[in-house]
Amino acid sequence: MKENLLESLNRELKEYIDDLYQQATPLVFGGGNPDSQIVLIGEAPGKNEVLQGRPFVGQAGKNLDEFIDILEIEKSDLYITNVVKMRPYKINEQTGRESNRTPTKKEIGVFTSFLMRELEIVRPKLVVTLGNIALKCISQDEKASIGSLHGNPIEVEFGKQNFWLFPLYHPASIIYKADLKDTYIEDLHKLKDYIKKSS
């Protein structure tokens, strides 16, 4: 049932985006267990995610897998998605190479109402945001910052739904800032205790 609803939402989103950008745009939809009470939300897919059509399969995904192991939860039991479903990228004019970039406010705005509908279908009790973009989007607070809110649950209203939000740093952030890893691990243990207490 939820699978069918998600499929038709994804179809609608693909048509909407292709129409908006006047071209066929590869999208990476959420995946995993739609009956999960826990949803993980990242920023946007990268090159590998677009190639494989699944969220978090590149280097950030490898870090995420390691972190999910700490939670002692099977990845296949979670539902994992992104705020923005297309890859935001820029092209280096000299080399012609593509690289990822942060999604613009406009891109985030385009995808937010679809994310609301996606979460209305999945109906999680707990949403774990990965990084600043997902935190700002789900808390609907532009001033929210992962540096001060990470590792503590907050009750939020998102669209027609209320749930608990647990903000984590983005798993790619430790690729660039190795000193965040201890904090990340600490936050994951807090999340593990929180999940145990609330289940």
Question: Residue numbers of the site for ligand URA (CB under 6 A)?
Answer: 42-46, 49, 55-56, 58, 60, 82, 172
Concatenated DSSP letters for 117-178? Answer: HHHHHH--SEEEEESHHHHHHHHT-TT--HHHHTTS-EEEEETTEEEEEEEE--TTHHHH-G
Nearest residue (CB) to ligand URA, 55 versus 151:
55
Give the residue with the Cβ less far from ligand URA, 53 or 196: 53
Residue number with CB closer to ligand URA (135 or 191): 135
Please, which residue, 27 or 162, has the CB nearer to ligand URA?
27
CB of 59 to ligand URA, least distance (A): 8
- Give the CB-nearest residue to ligand URA: 42
Structure tokens at 29: 């939809």
Shortest Cβ 29–ligand URA spacing (Å): 11
Q: Which is nearer to ligand URA, 82 or 139 (CB)?
A: 82
Give me the least distance between CB of 196 and ligand URA, in Å please: 26
First to last CA, the chain: 24
Q: What single-letter DSSP state applies at residue 43? A: S
In the complex, the smallest distance separating the C-beta of residue 1 from ligand URA, rounded to whole angstroms, is 25
Report in angstroms how near the CB of residue 61 gets to ligand URA at its nearest.
6
CA distance 91 to 87: 12
What are the structure tokens assigned to 113, written together? 């109402």
Q: How far apart are CA 141 and CA 40, in angstroms?
A: 18
